[in-house]
Structure 1
Amino acid sequence: MKSLVDLTLTAENRRGHGALYDALNCGRIDTDRLRAELALPVPRTDDGRIVLAVDVSPRLRSDAPTSADRLFCHVHGRAKSVSQFIPGWPYSFVVALESGRTSWTGILDVVRLGPEDDATAVIADQLRGVVGRLIAAGHWSASDPDMLVVMDAGYDVTLLAFVLGDLPVEVLGRIRSDRVLSATQAGPGTGHQRPAAQARPRLRPGQARHLA
């Protein structure tokens, strides 16, 4: 037998059909031990670096109005540029990526987001725990390159880089197209740097802002 479902199909199992579910409902899961067990040899890129990806994925529960802590989850519609908000449970994932054309990811941690949770704060706690477990399991040492954490535009990359500054990680994320950045530019004939202008152009709704 390789799963609990196989157990229900064996001749020795003489209990009723719902016995398996009753046992699961009365049992418990040691989540700390499970997280430690998931810190197995993780997938790596071709250069041997550990690359972690973070994201939020919803489990839609539109037909379960009595389920607790449902939120409105953003999902893409069938048509182009069409999105929907459907009741469900959002889950915050941390996975390890590898090189090559593969959809395989090593899931290292998952937490369900509640109505009062902030995704950036939750993922910061998750990353701190995952990195600590990987180091404790011997998958990273001081001679290895820093772990790379990649994420989409839904996270505050600047805040994450600050709160995780004491960990051996580098944070790489996309930013929204309407974010305005400031840089320095050379003054005419001086060779010195001076702050760039921070004017915000007036744009039509939906028009992206591009930085030269």
Structure 2
Amino acid sequence: MNSLQEPPSRVESLSEISRFRAGLHACFTRRGDTLFELADAMLCAQGPVRSPVELSLEPEFRRGHGSVYDALAAGRISQDRLRRLLVGVSAPARAGEPLMFAIDTTPHARPDAEYADERTMVQVRGKGGDRWLPGWPYSLVVGVQWGSSSWVDPIQARRLRPGEEHTDVTIEQVTGLLADVRATGKQQPADPPPLVMLDAGNYATDLTHALADQNVQLLVNRPGFDAMPRS
């Protein structure tokens, strides 16, 4: 019987997935094996996952349902490692063009979670108008692709704690992002500086001052003003 060779493209795709899974496993610093199986179960679920315990019913999760809550309560994930892993697989820039990223906040309303810690009032948009509800605001970092695609590459979701200034969190995210693009080889010395686009809610002057020594371009949206590019 003659064996059939896999097409090179398929072999390379499987190799990339294997490397990504190994990198993801390294991000789980406590209860790592359980969290890794939960991630596999979530990716392989055939429908929406409405509660964590449902993941224990997936064949990819080989542990008891009690370990799900143990992992969620006691498990730990290295946010820096995960961000760098996701930067490494984000879309490359076009030749001669900068890498593009966007940072914006999004609300996660939790009006019924009376015992959830650190809730603040978040603005939820809807057809009937905006509402303010208790919940958690997140600052999201995504990679933006060139061309007509509306897809973005998720890189980081950072919850804004009560009392934290949004601009300070943005500065921290941009600084970490720039370190990651250098460390992963996405940014070479001759390449144009990465372009980071920011929606309203950030102070352009504070960003400019804090990131003055960084090789980055900023495009800040300020209501009532023209967008402010910085190089």
Using the size of structure 1 for normalisation, the TM-score is 0.73
Using a 3 Å threshold, how does the CA distance of structure 1 residues 96 and 11 change in structure 2: closer, same or farther? closer
Q: Equivalent pairs: percent with the same residue?
A: 33
* Contact map agreement 1:41 1:139 (CA 8 A) in 2: no
User: Which position in structure 2 is the counterpart of 1:33?
Assistant: 81
User: Which position in structure 1 is the counterpart of 2:110?
Assistant: 61
User: Which position in structure 1 is the counterpart of 2:184?
Assistant: 137
User: Which position in structure 2 is the counterpart of 1:10?
Assistant: 59
| Farther-moved stretch of structure 1 (131-140 vs 30-39) | 30-39
Measure how far apart 1:125 and its partner are: 0.7
For the pair shown, which has the larger CA radius of gyration, 1 or 2? 1
Aligned residues: 176
Alignment deviations for residues 49-85 of structure 1 (CA, whole Å, 9 cap, x no partner): 2011010111110110110100101122314xx3211
Structure 1 gap ranges (5+):
181-212
Using a 3 Å threshold, how does the CA distance of structure 1 residues 21 and 161 change in structure 2: closer, same or farther? same
CA RMSD of aligned residues (A): 2.5
Using a 3 Å threshold, how does the CA distance of structure 1 residues 31 and 174 change in structure 2: closer, same or farther? closer
- Select the residue among 197, 209, 212 that pairs with 1:162: 209
Letter in 2 for 1:29: I
Alignment deviations for residues 175-206 of structure 1 (CA, whole Å, 9 cap, x no partner): 121x59xxxxxxxxxxxxxxxxxxxxxxxxxx
Deviating above 6 A after TM superposition, structure 1's stretches of 4 or more consecutive aligned residues are none
- Select the residue among 144, 147, 150 that pairs with 1:97: 144
Distance 1:35 1:124 in 2: 15
Structure 2 gap ranges (5+):
1-36, 45-55, 227-231
